[in-house]
A and B are shown apart, each in its own frame.
Chain A
Amino acid sequence: MNYIKYTPEDFLSDDSFLNYCMHKNQNDVHFWTKWQEANPQKIPDVRKAKELYNILNGNLDLQVKEDQKIFKTLFQQHLSTNSSNRKVKEIVKTSSVYKSVYILIGVAAAIVGAFFIFPWSSENQGSNQNLPTLYSQVSQPGEKKFFQLPDGSQITLNSGSSIRVVKGFNNDRREILLEGEAYFEITHNPKKPFIIHTKMMDIKVLGTVFNVKAYPADPESETSLISGSVEITLKDRNNKKVILRPHEKITLSAEMDDPSAGNSVTHSDAKKLEKAPGVNISRLDSTVIETPWMRNQLLFANQSFERIAVELERNYNVRFEFEDNEIRNYRYTATFEKKTITQILEALKLSRSFDYKIMDGKTIVVK
């Protein structure tokens, strides 16, 4: 084929040229890239052809390449989550010995995660903190706050959380910093991406509904997607990107949930697991409410008293003091809706007994 004599119209009549423009076929992309290098005098004509092609296809090419990459990432994620889910089930099924091995693995992963996260997160947090603030919204412990941003997006702040709106909001992007937990309903605007910076991850959205939990004091940080799509940058993992689909949740752990559970993990065990330290993407169970706090519910699923206490401190503006280390590790599963702190403590007590005393209405001493 004598492409040297081709006019822009001729290029546009060539199937392999169109494949190249739309990145459809790697061979064609390769061929036309090489061909242009070899025939630089034809580059202006190629450019003209490409421009006309863009007009005629609705300016798709600006998007197509990016979207193809997104799909590839999504597909790889899809493949790996499916196979790992299967593996998890098999291990749990076979025997309790494997089960405990699995728990150990989880703990090991968390330890490795902790090593990776701390040096990075402090650094990144520093850079985020430097973003100039336009104004902030803070909810006190025991308080929830609902407000609207200038672009119409709606945010509900859970207790003891804060949001700082970055200067230049709604100019060409929309950026905020979050500490704590919030439920977002973002106004759709593909031209101005909405970015939420947290300690461990940056969440980029175009318009969607989701919940982010990133209390600096918590060992874990999570994002649950209700609808739309979000792209998450894991700051502590070389800015690796993860794309969430509706009804998926990503959990990042910074340290072990329960320090007493498995300190005996050897170094070599931990090393093997460096690949995926503390990142977990799971399907949201439709029978479980992901954002119970939005309905004034408190939900605990096999959590240690210590963790529960942190939640209660936030929600009731109280402070816990444990005088007994064993009680600290008691585990409870419970759901509370619009109960007082005393009602909750009485209920927990019924399930597994302990004593407590409320001092000056604020400090709760557990023994």
Chain B
Amino acid sequence: MGHEDALVDLFNTFYPSLMNFGSKFMQEREDTRDTINHLFLRLWDMRQQLPVVENVRAYLFTAIKRELLARKKSAGLEILKHHRFYGDLDADQPCFEEVVIRFQEKEEMISKIKKAMSYLTEREKELIRLRFFEDLGYDEIASQCGISKRTAYNIIHAGLTTLRKHLSCDERGNLFLVASMLFLLFNSSYLIVSKGF
């Protein structure tokens, strides 16, 4: 049955973006992974009853958000709650300070990324996040930001060049740290795409 491969393809296509989306709600990627696995198996079981969906991505994001929140509730997890004190409108945003503690050992690297990011314009930062962290295609970015595909492409390209100039990627040992740091930056300082749907 070819349908079975189709589910695996669907999983592989949307897994990175669902993972990063999920980390806004869950502290541990492990928890997000389990929830995503569970969701896809359930979709398979219900495949006869599923509605015809126009925007698969939006459908999956809504579904996974619901599952993650339900899971948190049932597990009695309250980890990411107290950021309400920071006046965040979106109550699902994780607390930046809480997570960053883990990466404190090498502060010079953290500041390096902060610095590299500071050379980006807000527009570049936003589009790079959408493209690489949220894993959106150029078409989607263009329509979401109300610009042409070509413009989106150019902005991202310029941003990448700036980043690479200031990040000197050759220090490979520190890459993990850099990654985690950027991950946190994106995670904490932006509203998520879900506002779009």
A75 in contact with B175 (CB, 8 Å) = no
Q: Which of B41, B113, B156, B179 contacts A58 (CB 8 A)?
A: B179
Which residues on A sit within 8 Å (CB–CB) of B28? 188, 190, 207
Q: Which of B11, B137, B169, B180 has the most C-beta atoms of chain A within 10 angstroms of its own C-beta?
A: B169
Which residues on A sit within 8 Å (CB–CB) of B40? 71, 75
Query: Which residues 245-261 in A have Cβ within 8 Å of B in the complex?
Result: 245
A79 to chain B, nearest CB (A): 7
A57 contacts chain B at the CB level, 8 A cutoff: yes
Which residues on B sit within 8 Å (CB–CB) of A60? 16, 19-20
B183 contacts chain A at the CB level, 8 A cutoff: yes
B84 contacts chain A at the CB level, 8 A cutoff: no
What does the 1/0 interface line of B50-77 toward A look like (CB < 8 Å)?
0000000000000000000000000100
Q: Which of A12, A22, A55, A245 contacts B178 (CB 8 A)?
A: A55
Selecting from A62-70, A151-159, A263-271, A313-321, the interface stretch reads A62-70
B37 in contact with A70 (CB, 8 Å) = yes
Query: Given A13-B157, A78-B41, does the pair A57, B8 have CB atoms closer than 8 Å?
Result: no
Which residues on A sit within 8 Å (CB–CB) of B12? 23-25, 68
Q: Report Cα–Cα, A55/B179, bound state, in Å.
A: 4
Q: Report Cα–Cα, A188/B30, bound state, in Å.
A: 10
Query: Given A67-B15, A74-B41, does the pair A58, B164 have CB atoms closer than 8 Å?
Result: no
Q: Which residue of B lies closest to A54 (CB)?
A: B179
Which residues on A sit within 8 Å (CB–CB) of B113? 55
A141 contacts chain B at the CB level, 8 A cutoff: no
B4 contacts chain A at the CB level, 8 A cutoff: yes
A13 in contact with B153 (CB, 8 Å) = yes
Q: Which of A12, A58, A68, A78 contacts B20 (CB 8 A)?
A: A58
Q: Report Cα–Cα, A57/B40, bound state, in Å.
A: 22
B164 in contact with A48 (CB, 8 Å) = yes
Q: Which residue of A lies closest to B102 (CB)?
A: A191
Q: Report Cα–Cα, A25/B14, bound state, in Å.
A: 11
Which residues on A sit within 8 Å (CB–CB) of B114? none
A71 in contact with B11 (CB, 8 Å) = yes
B37 in contact with A71 (CB, 8 Å) = yes
Query: Given A54-B175, A78-B41, A229-B34, does the pair A64, B19 have CB atoms closer than 8 Å?
Result: yes
Q: Which of A51, A79, A229 contacts B172 (CB 8 A)?
A: A51
Which residues on B sit within 8 Å (CB–CB) of A324? none
B8 in contact with A71 (CB, 8 Å) = yes
Query: Given A13-B157, A71-B40, does the pair A58, B133 have CB atoms closer than 8 Å?
Result: yes
B169 in contact with A56 (CB, 8 Å) = no
A8 contacts chain B at the CB level, 8 A cutoff: yes
A313 to chain B, nearest CB (A): 38
Q: Which of A10, A52, A56, A64 contacts B133 (CB 8 A)?
A: A56
